[in-house]
Amino acid sequence: MSVLLEVEGLSLRVRRGAEYAYLLERVGFALEVGGTLGVVGESGCGKSMLALALIGLLPRGVAASGAVRLDGTDLLALPERARRATRGRRIAMVFQEPMRALNPTQPIGRQVAEGLRAQLGLGRAEADARARALLDRVGLPAGVASPHTLPHRLSGGQRQRVLIAIALACEPALLIADEFSTALDMGTQAQVLALLAELVAERRMALLMITHDLGLLAQVCARALVLYAGRAVEAAPTAALFAARRHPYTEGLFGCSLHAGHTAPGTRLPTIRGQVPPPFARGPGCCFAGRCGRVEPDCLPEQPPLHAAGPAHRVACLHPVVTV
């Protein structure tokens, strides 16, 4: 399969006074055409920053280095004008909060058509017709919501569907979903996710999903990337990860998840002690050492590199979990 997105040595650096810190440190992965990748980790691990770096909407003061190649073109090297042309057209993004991501004063049809007109240069009539077809496709046919409906008339799930329609409008090659649907209740969440998965498969789009919910990861993504404190600590096919975690952090995450584990009700849940070290307080060694139950003296002097731990399974740990 041909590679669509190739991220290599991506680092995001911020400065405070004379100090530097990394929000992301030499993160690399590849995503093929039509592939699905889930990025998991706690908040503060750099998941959302990764999404913003890919789409080119990093906040001021964050400097990116490394390479983000889409179809072989390094996006980080492109000038802003060229970058803007890829946004929406080649890479689209759906956001977490459907309430904030929609303009409350514009009818939904116009919001879907906006990208079509701006990026594809379609005329008003044609864009409107396409918008209507898209709303139909995402499960908002004329009977449910007309293109003239304003967002506040819709439920959370329906708004999320509008966001999907907007993201799909220009048929992007890569769709990024950041904590998508976590604001919804589970029934609606399942429906919207099913729709998303279906559309991704139907249009051969690649999907990069950022989530802290391992249940969603299992449902939607073929591969998983575990980020911890700005570093990639484990990468594997989702099924392999569910069968055997190698990094103690991944193991910890699975342990405390109520959706991935099988904990008896009312019993004490396993937890990971402590919290993610903030960017300016990360030492030279393994970033998880301070919270890890398997830490050894050799974890401290330097960062363990990613190494192979199985077919297509890589882990950055000197003392990985071994399951027999």
Partner 1 sequence: MRRPAPPRHPSLWAGTLILALVLVPAALSAVWTPFPPGAIDIAHRLLSPSLRHVLGTDPFGRDVASRLMVATLNSGLVCAAAIALGGLVGIPLGLLGAAPGWGGALVMRIADLGLAFPPLLTAAMLVAAEGTGIAAEIVAIGAFNVPAFMRIARGGALSVLHRDFIAAARVAGRGRVAILLEHVLPNIGAILLVQATLALAIAALSEAGLSYLGLGMPPPLPSLGRILADDQARIFDAPLLVIAPGAVVALLVLGCNLLGDGLRDRLDPTLAPVR
Partner 2 sequence: MSTPLLEADGLVREYGPGRRVLHSVGLTVAAGETLGIIGGSGSGKSSLARILMGLQRPDAGRVRFRGIDLYGADRAALRAARPQLQAVFQDPYGSLDPRQRVGRIVAEPLRGQGLDRAARDERVRWALEAVSLPPDAATRHPHAFSGGQRQRVAIARALVGRPALVIADEPVSALDVSVQAQVLNLMLELQARLGLAFVFISHDLGVVRHMAHRIAVLEAGRIVEAGDAAAVLGSPRHPATRGLLEALPTAPSC
CB of 225 to partner 2, least distance (A): 17
| Among candidate residues 304, 323, 308, the one with its CA nearest the CA of residue 228 | 304
Distance in Å, CB of 219 to partner 2, minimum:
5
Per the CB < 8 A criterion, the answer to whether 131 and 147 are in contact is yes
CB of 123 to partner 2, least distance (A): 38
Whole-number Cα distances in Å, 157 to 2, 44, 109, 115, 191: 34, 27, 17, 21, 9
In 10 A of CB 116, how many CB atoms? Answer: 23
Whole-angstrom Cα distance, residue 307 to residue 314? 5
Q: What is the nearest approach in angstroms of partner 2 to the Cβ of residue 183?
A: 9
Count of residues of this chain found to bind partner 2 when the rule CB under 8 A is applied: 42
Answer whether 232's CB lies under 8 Å from 256's CB.
Answer: no
Is the Cβ of residue 5 or residue 12 nearer to partner 1 in the bound state? 12
- Pick the binder of partner 1 from 3, 8, 14, 30 (CB under 8 A): 14
Residues 246-285 that bind partner 1 (CB under 8 A): 279
Angle, CA 50 vertex, CA 15 and CA 94 arms, to 5°: 130
Structure tokens that stand for 250 in this block? 């991944």
| Identity of the residue, 43 or 106, whose beta carbon is nearer to partner 1 in the bound complex | 43
- Is 80 a binding residue for partner 1 by CB under 8 A? The answer is no
* Interacting residues with partner 1 between 16 and 45 (CB under 8 A): 16, 23, 43
Q: Closest distance between partner 1 and the C-beta of residue 70, in Å?
A: 25
184 binds partner 2 (CB under 8 A): yes
**Cβ 80 to partner 2 shortest distance, Å:** 33
Q: Which of 213, 226, 251, 320 binds partner 2 (CB under 8 A)?
A: 213
**Which residues sit opposite 207 in a β-bridge?**
36, 175
CA atoms within 13 A on the CB side of 94: 30
139 contact choice in partner 2, partner 1, none (CB below 5 to 8 Å, kind-dependent): none
Report the C-alpha gap between 118 and 266 in whole angstroms: 54
User: Could you say whether residue 293 binds partner 2 (CB under 8 A)?
Assistant: no
- Give yes or no for residue 61 binding partner 1 (CB under 8 A): yes
CB of 287 closer than 8 Å to CB of 231 = yes
Longest Cα–Cα distance of the chain, Å, equals 67
Q: What are phi and psi of 261, to 5 degrees?
A: -85, -175
The first and second tokens of residue 104, run together, are 């409350």
3-state class (DSSP) for residue 196: helix
Q: Which stretch binds partner 1 (CB under 8 A): 9-17, 24-32, 89-97, 215-223?
A: 9-17
CA 282 to chain centre: 23
| Single residue of 11, 48, 149, 263 touching partner 2 by CB under 8 A | 263
- Cβ proximity to partner 2: between 35 and 115 the closer is 35
Residues contributing to the site for partner 2 (CB under 8 A):
42-43, 155-157, 184-190, 212-216, 218-219, 238-239, 242-243, 252-253, 255-263, 265-266, 268-272, 275
- Which residues form the interface with partner 1 (CB under 8 A)? 14-16, 23, 43, 49, 59-62, 279
